[in-house]
Structure 1
Amino acid sequence: MREFSLPALYEVPADGNLTDLIRRNAAQYPDVPLLARKRDGAWEDVTAAAFLAEVRAAAAGLIAAGVGTGDRVALMSRTRYEWTLLDFAIWSAGAVTVPVYETSSPEQLTWILSDSQAVAAVVETDAHRADLESVRERLPDLAHVWQIEAPAADAETTEEPTALAALTAAGAEIPAATVEERSSAANADSPATLIYTSGTTGRPKGCVLTHRSFFAECGNVVERLSPVFRTGESSVLLFLPLAHVLGRLVQVAAVMAPIKLGHVSDIKALTEELAAFRPTLVLGVPRVFEKVYNSARAQARESGRAGIFDRAADTAVAYSRALDTPSGPGALLRLRHRVLDRMVFRKLRSVLGGRATHAISGGAVLGERLGHFYRGIGFTVLEGYGLTETCAATAFNPVERQKIGTVGQPLPGSVVRIADDGEVLLHGEHLFTGYWRNEQATAEALADGWFHTGDIGTMDADGYLTITGRKKEILVTAGGKNVAPAALEDRMRAHALISECMVVGDGRPFVGALLTLDEEFLPRWATERGRSGLAHAELLADPELLAELQLAVNHANEAVSKAESVRKFRVLPTQFSEESGHVTPSLKLKRGVVAKDFAADIDALYGD
């Protein structure tokens, strides 16, 4: 058993709640643009004082509607300025935010709102409103529904005002003193939010995160990563779902620091918005950074500059690796790096807005080579690890002592323990207090004062954590070999052609894999190889394509022993997606669903 901790860098307030942050900002930085919103296609700054005024106006409307202290209010929307405004407005009304993914089905919506006993909901679009209305009779506690976007011109509710307009009008007669009193109603140990887990198996559980959880989490993150949270200099563009705890971490941390915060609703417009907003800090998941790299390499190939790009990538990796040596990069490597910076690296950084120097990445493993590549081009990706139950990051790499290939050291003020069976156990103020109305699940997860994550990991002498897989996902082959799928899957997914994969082999004679192909890169590959005229089924059986995929499998196998390596793979003609029911909104595989739906394909791997 190994244990490691770091002293806290931030003292959680004995009392108070998260609304104290926006009041402090308005008092200390009233005219500083700490947020930005999109209006008529252009970015518009919002000062700290203006943001507080909008929050108070919306909170007054919630109070006027009868939302009481401790009541739950659902918020279903894409990432956008109004999400953050309404989140703080709900807290300012003394209530509790219940985020809902904007892609959630009516059935998921019903469960979350009924289980949380939400008394009100804010949705974004006509489609969301229609989904909610279709199950309204199953939600007896739900008294109010507001819509962020104006209804479509042909909708029956054309005359209905937007959520913010309706709330502002409804709260016009509520005294400022009443809003102020309600804003102070919650204390540090009051619930701030119920975040429902993605639910890879069974119904999602509502994680209760308190104001203390966010103070402990965000306060220590901001202090440990202070070089990237510089008031007046730093900015972050948020495009991950705010229904996910990682998005909420960055939202609250930006307000706490404070640094300028912007939102992007449409991931397809991310490149354009990065160029327009020009953040210094980017939040992402490994798939985003893999896409940026793969797209740049594909463009280089198409323009006949693949050789230059590959040499530049090798130089970036070598330069980054040398930074971890006592002597640092040699003179020749530094010269080559300077030349390639002008030719290649500067252009790559411009894709990320041109000013960004750091990114925070979570959700999966980035991969050591890609981590070194990004640091080598002057854009450091700091990997971390966490769960909904840990209020996002429970470990992360510090700016000044990064260890690429790990998820970093424990959050200051918390403890990480590796149990005898390899499970990662956690202790700290940032942890959730339990699952909403589910005492049995709470008792199982928070046993003996420690949160049992279900993840398997290792920790070095300096406290740097490496996650190797999920305890429940460990496969045991017919030969008795234990196999952690994540180690293989993360490396296979790094290949440009592979969108998703699932390693199989539990009770089978060897390890196999199901692969789905990337819808963007497959046509590019086909065009480059002169196979664009092939039917989709023919393309998936093409020997050259299968040989390319075998290289990705071989690369994954380098990380494991021969007994754990993937012996066969099968390409599926479809995608694992949220719409198909095979991944959660946070992009975790629903392994049981995949195994059931593709049982014939799995059997075919072992048919010969």
Structure 2
Amino acid sequence: MTSITRIFDFPYHQQDKFTSIPDALASKQNGAWVKVSTEEYIAKANSISRALLRMGIQKDDKIAIISSNNRTEWHIVDIGVLQTGAQTVPIYPTISEHDYEYILNHSEASYCFVSDEEILRKINLVKHNLPHLKEIYSFNTIPNCKNWNELLDLGKDTSNQEEVEARKNSIKTEDLATIIYTSGTTGNPKGVMLSHQNIVSNVLGSAPRIPFGEGKSRALSFLPICHIFERMVLYLYQYYGVSIYFGESIEKIGDNIKEVQPNVITAVPRLIEKVYDKIYAKGAELTGIKKKLFFWAINLGLRYEPYGANGFWYEFQLKIARKLIFSKWKEGLGGKLEVMVSGSAALQTRLSRIFAAAEIPVMEGYGLTETSPVIAVNDMRNYGFRIGTVGKVIDNVEVKIAEDGEILCKGPNVMIGYYKNEKLTNEVITDGYFHTGDIGNIDQDGFLKITDRKKEMFKTSGGKYIAPQLIENTMKQSRFIEQIMVIGEGQKMPGAFIQPNFEFVKEWARKNKVDIGKTNETIVTNEKVIARIQQEIESINSKFGHWEQIKKFELTPNVWSIDGGELTPTLKLKRKNVLEKYQDLYNKIYST
């Protein structure tokens, strides 16, 4: 059995343990799923390695990969590059050409793989400013652009495979494997240096927490592969012999999930919220006894506690609700989904309850790019699941809580440092502990709970601390509120910018015969809409201390998005950008 100490050991481990999985990697092309076996995956990765050596790639060279969607080619190139001792630099496809220019220059990438014409177009706009970049290769066939198949052809001749083996053997577990540029909410992205050991230790440390049928499970992958969360999980799938199917796009996930019938998916809270909202909206359209049963099941699910804590009568009712209502939810998600793994941001506790009640538990975890990423994760087995927490710390990682409540992390998963930024590295790593910037606590049973981002907490002029994420996540439980950002640092009271759920507001207006106009601009200025959202705010405010309650808010006509600059690629708020964009609304809130 292959000993796993470097990232590229995972496919070989899969081959040793499971011989060859026929659909180790699968992508959809021209309407059909094209499957690559473990054997073919390894063979093509070796072809890429042989080609790169013939092109003169040296150890510690940097090679960028930018793809609009997750796909088989990404993984083949990833392993092919890593086997040569070069490092991969995965880049978010949705960032601006200015950010492409910064990352490609800062990393000194000599080659770049792109998925499609749009990404190539953006790179070509700044190519004249990229002195280190020698060539671009595409996965799709694009006129006047070299194709990755040329490297597979160049690597067909196996006469230099011994050179590949020698290069592999020279790579130590502590060696740098990848530089991941965090999307960041301010300034230029930071290059997080992760070693083979960082990522491998995190895969092996997380593996016992995720329940898989080894060699017989299927996963659907659609979160950005350039983000360490999805990337680490994909290595974890390979370790367990899970067949990986790559979703075509976020828009087609509904179709893909029915075709693939996965046992596991990863998701971020915003996507889970959208799934729930769609299910809820369909239930609201029902009539008579069906509607009553639907909402009876919802109310039951919202009271869910794990491990039978609610007693026999609750469990008896839940059994009926699962048979009559929740089984249809599962069917809509492919029919075989056993677990969703959630990360990147806090999950609303109501969603933890409702999906666990529906037997599609969401195992919420916690981590950062700098920690490769997992620090803690829930596990339904062995009483390892607690709603409102991110689970227990994984075995090979140590966590302590600083005096000010900040979560500090130590272990083999902690990054080497920030690329070309020793000063910043020394600011966040002291005595081996990485300062996460998150505030939290560990309960008496060892469950970690995150309360807020240290940098995002602020004081009002009255000296009271406000934890915006907690308020925002609670407010987003309203179907009227799609996005919200709590503001008010140094002000008398907290306020908020709110992007309404325009689709739901239109549905509400239709049912209540309210004329709200046809544009977002007329909707956000409509007095009845404002009054209705005010009702929602007042209702939710009652859950908070008087100093935390939202006293004033303004509605924004824009749909907050990655392209609009309000959200990061993992759908977190870019607070500085939002504040700058809606400065006039801020002034309106606080000028009176």
Same fold by TM-score greater than 0.5: yes
Please give the TM-score of this superposition, normalised by the length of structure 1. 0.92
Which has the larger displacement, 553-562 or 492-501? 553-562
Which one of 162, 187, 202 corresponds to residue 217 of structure 1? Answer: 202
Distance in 2 (alpha carbons) for counterparts of 1:61 and 1:259 = 29
Q: Which runs of 4+ in 1 moved over 6 A?
A: none
CA RMSD of aligned residues (A): 2.0
Which one of 386, 390, 399 corresponds to residue 407 of structure 1? Answer: 390
Q: CA deviation at 1:98?
A: 0.4
Which has the larger displacement, 450-459 or 183-192? 183-192
2:290 pairs with 1:308? no
| Paired amino acid for 1:420 | E
Decide whether aligned partners of structure 1 residues 543 and 308 sit closer, same or farther in structure 2, where only a CA change above 3 A counts: farther
2:492 pairs with 1:502? no
Residue number in structure 2 paired with 1:317: 302
Q: CA deviation at 1:40?
A: 2.8
Superposed counterparts of 1:132-143, under 5 Å: 132-143=123-134
Decide whether aligned partners of structure 1 residues 403 and 555 sit closer, same or farther in structure 2, where only a CA change above 3 A counts: farther
Residue number in structure 1 paired with 2:140: 149
Q: CA deviation at 1:322?
A: 6.1
2:150 pairs with 1:166? yes
For residue 497 of structure 2, give the secondary structure of its aligned residue in structure 1: strand
Distance in 1 (alpha carbons) for counterparts of 2:564 and 2:282 = 31
Residue number in structure 1 paired with 2:558: 574
Decide whether aligned partners of structure 1 residues 46 and 580 sit closer, same or farther in structure 2, where only a CA change above 3 A counts: same
Which one of 158, 161, 171 corresponds to residue 186 of structure 1? Answer: 171
Q: CA deviation at 1:440?
A: 0.4
Distance in 2 (alpha carbons) for counterparts of 1:71 and 1:444 = 27
Superposed counterparts of 1:98-497, under 5 Å: 98-151=89-142, 155=143, 157=144, 162-163=147-148, 165-173=149-157, 175-225=160-210, 228-304=211-287, 305-318=290-303, 320-321=304-305, 323=307, 325=309, 328-331=310-313, 333-400=314-381, 401-497=384-480
Decide whether aligned partners of structure 1 residues 88 and 497 sit closer, same or farther in structure 2, where only a CA change above 3 A counts: farther
Contact 2:47–2:154 (CA under 8 A) maintained in structure 1: no
Which has the larger displacement, 560-569 or 202-211? 560-569
Which has the larger displacement, 585-594 or 205-214? 585-594
Q: Which has the higher contact order (CA 8 A, sep 6+)?
A: 1
Which has the larger displacement, 69-78 or 28-37? 28-37
Distance in 1 (alpha carbons) for counterparts of 2:30 and 2:563 = 31
Decide whether aligned partners of structure 1 residues 317 and 179 sit closer, same or farther in structure 2, where only a CA change above 3 A counts: same
2:43 pairs with 1:41? no
Q: CA deviation at 1:236?
A: 1.4
For residue 36 of structure 2, give the secondary structure of its aligned residue in structure 1: strand
For residue 60 of structure 2, give the secondary structure of its aligned residue in structure 1: coil
Residue number in structure 2 paired with 1:5: none
Distance in 1 (alpha carbons) for counterparts of 2:565 and 2:86 = 32
Decide whether aligned partners of structure 1 residues 188 and 562 sit closer, same or farther in structure 2, where only a CA change above 3 A counts: same
For residue 421 of structure 1, give the secondary structure of its aligned residue in structure 2: coil
Q: CA deviation at 1:558?
A: 4.4
Structure 1, unmatched stretches of 5+, are 1-11
Q: CA deviation at 1:542?
A: 3.6
Aligned residues between the structures? 583
Which one of 8, 21, 30 corresponds to residue 10 of structure 2? Answer: 21
Contact 1:17–1:187 (CA under 8 A) maintained in structure 2: yes
Q: CA deviation at 1:570?
A: 1.1
Which has the larger displacement, 561-570 or 31-40? 31-40
Contact 1:222–1:229 (CA under 8 A) maintained in structure 2: no
For residue 551 of structure 2, give the secondary structure of its aligned residue in structure 1: strand
**Could you report, residue by residue, the CA deviation over 1:333-378 in whole angstroms, capped at 9, with x for unpaired residues?**
3443233223321111122211011111011221112211110011
Distance in 2 (alpha carbons) for counterparts of 1:408 and 1:385 = 8
Which has the larger displacement, 20-29 or 290-299? 20-29
Which one of 530, 541, 558 corresponds to residue 546 of structure 1? Answer: 530
Distance in 2 (alpha carbons) for counterparts of 1:538 and 1:133 = 40
Q: CA deviation at 1:276?
A: 0.6
Distance in 2 (alpha carbons) for counterparts of 1:188 and 1:107 = 34
Distance in 2 (alpha carbons) for counterparts of 1:508 and 1:37 = 51
Q: CA deviation at 1:246?
A: 0.8
Contact 1:254–1:260 (CA under 8 A) maintained in structure 2: yes
Which one of 72, 83, 89 corresponds to residue 80 of structure 2? Answer: 89
2:578 pairs with 1:594? yes
Decide whether aligned partners of structure 1 residues 552 and 289 sit closer, same or farther in structure 2, where only a CA change above 3 A counts: farther
Distance in 2 (alpha carbons) for counterparts of 1:551 and 1:462 = 39
Contact 2:27–2:247 (CA under 8 A) maintained in structure 1: no
**Could you report, residue by residue, the CA deviation over 1:246-291 in whole angstroms, capped at 9, with x for unpaired residues?**
1111111111222111111311100110011111111001111111
Q: CA deviation at 1:519?
A: 4.5
Q: CA deviation at 1:571?
A: 0.7
Which has the larger displacement, 233-242 or 545-554? 545-554
Distance in 2 (alpha carbons) for counterparts of 1:30 and 1:518 = 49
For residue 135 of structure 1, give the secondary structure of its aligned residue in structure 2: helix
| Paired amino acid for 1:469 | D
Decide whether aligned partners of structure 1 residues 313 and 150 sit closer, same or farther in structure 2, where only a CA change above 3 A counts: same
Contact 1:277–1:353 (CA under 8 A) maintained in structure 2: yes
Distance in 2 (alpha carbons) for counterparts of 1:110 and 1:268 = 28
Q: CA deviation at 1:217?
A: 0.5
Q: CA deviation at 1:543?
A: 4.4
Q: CA deviation at 1:552?
A: 4.1
| Paired amino acid for 1:172 | K
Distance in 2 (alpha carbons) for counterparts of 1:489 and 1:46 = 43
| Paired amino acid for 1:21 | F
Q: CA deviation at 1:113?
A: 0.8
Distance in 2 (alpha carbons) for counterparts of 1:235 and 1:329 = 34
| Paired amino acid for 1:372 | R
Q: Percent identity?
A: 30
Distance in 1 (alpha carbons) for counterparts of 2:430 and 2:392 = 23
Contact 2:485–2:496 (CA under 8 A) maintained in structure 1: yes
For residue 402 of structure 1, give the secondary structure of its aligned residue in structure 2: coil
Q: CA deviation at 1:324?
A: 5.1
Which one of 31, 34, 58 corresponds to residue 48 of structure 2? Answer: 58
Distance in 1 (alpha carbons) for counterparts of 2:515 and 2:61 = 56
Distance in 2 (alpha carbons) for counterparts of 1:483 and 1:82 = 45
For residue 566 of structure 1, give the secondary structure of its aligned residue in structure 2: coil
Contact 1:238–1:264 (CA under 8 A) maintained in structure 2: yes
Contact 1:106–1:132 (CA under 8 A) maintained in structure 2: yes
Contact 1:30–1:47 (CA under 8 A) maintained in structure 2: no
Contact 1:385–1:393 (CA under 8 A) maintained in structure 2: yes
Distance in 2 (alpha carbons) for counterparts of 1:177 and 1:408 = 45
Distance in 2 (alpha carbons) for counterparts of 1:529 and 1:182 = 69
Contact 2:63–2:112 (CA under 8 A) maintained in structure 1: yes
Contact 2:14–2:20 (CA under 8 A) maintained in structure 1: no
Distance in 1 (alpha carbons) for counterparts of 2:569 and 2:552 = 29
Contact 1:63–1:171 (CA under 8 A) maintained in structure 2: no
Residue number in structure 2 paired with 1:30: 19
Contact 2:101–2:129 (CA under 8 A) maintained in structure 1: yes
Decide whether aligned partners of structure 1 residues 271 and 137 sit closer, same or farther in structure 2, where only a CA change above 3 A counts: same
For residue 444 of structure 1, give the secondary structure of its aligned residue in structure 2: helix
Structure 2, unmatched stretches of 5+, are none
Q: CA deviation at 1:74?
A: 0.3
Q: CA deviation at 1:302?
A: 2.3
Decide whether aligned partners of structure 1 residues 351 and 547 sit closer, same or farther in structure 2, where only a CA change above 3 A counts: farther
Contact 1:291–1:496 (CA under 8 A) maintained in structure 2: no
Distance in 2 (alpha carbons) for counterparts of 1:519 and 1:256 = 43
For residue 455 of structure 2, give the secondary structure of its aligned residue in structure 1: helix
Q: CA deviation at 1:237?
A: 0.8
Q: CA deviation at 1:399?
A: 2.4
Distance in 2 (alpha carbons) for counterparts of 1:564 and 1:577 = 27
